[in-house]
Copies of this chain bind each other. A is one copy, B any other.
Amino acid sequence: MPETLTFLLGGARSGKSAHAERLITQIPAPWTYIATAQAYDDEMRERISIHRDRRGEGWQTLDAPLDIAGALGSVPEGAPVLVDCLTLWLTNHMLADHDVEAECAALADVLSRPRGPWFVVSNEVGLGIVPDNALARRFRDDAGRLNQKVAAVADAVLYMVAGLPMKVK
């Protein structure tokens, strides 16, 4: 199984997760889904449940709201993995008041040495008007920097537009 990192980036409802699932399921099962979402409210609970229902047989889910690296470490060598998504993981670290810069550097380091076909999903959030809110500005900056770090070490980078992939790298 090739040791490659594929990075899928796009806006809300751009079809990132569905496309990542299409790509990974072209590899034989079992597939590991590393979920970073935490259900803070009903809206989020519903989104998580829709995503989970779309996946079916052949999937194993690991919840990793904060420790993607640990979850990746527990997956056997050569196994296909989908991490969905980095921006929620970043949100979780920001809310926990962790050292976001250090966390991002450490994660990018782990992702730079994939041990199988790894697929990583993230949101692009920097293409709107500058937010009024200082926390939103910080999040937007941190997410942008994280995306750059991961894109730099990825073997392939896809920018999703309306469900369709554009090859960036």
Residue numbers of A with Cβ under 8 A of B are 7, 9-15, 43, 124-131, 134, 136-137, 139-141, 143-145, 147-148, 150-152, 157, 159, 161-164, 166, 168-169
The 5 A-B residue pairs with the shortest CB-CB distance, nearest first, are: A128-B128, A13-B144, A11-B126, A12-B126, A151-B162
Number of this chain's copies in the assembly equals 3
Q: Is the interface of A mostly helix, strand, loop or mixed?
A: mixed
B141, A162: Cβ atoms under 8 Å?
Answer: no
A128 to chain B, nearest CB (A): 2
A127 to B87, CA, bound (A): 13
* Contact with A124, one of B125, B141, B151, B161 (Cβ below 8 angstroms): B161
A11, B163: Cβ atoms under 8 Å?
Answer: no
A127 to B128, CA, bound (A): 5
Nearest to A7 among chain B residues (CB) is: B162
A162, B9: Cβ atoms under 8 Å?
Answer: yes
29 CB contacts below 8 A, A to B, read: A7-B162, A10-B126, A11-B125, A11-B126, A11-B127, A11-B144, A12-B126, A12-B140, A12-B141, A13-B126, A13-B140, A13-B143, A13-B144, A13-B147, A14-B148, A15-B148, A124-B161, A125-B128, A125-B130, A126-B127, A128-B131, A129-B136, A147-B162, A148-B162, A157-B164, A159-B161, A162-B168, A164-B168, A164-B169
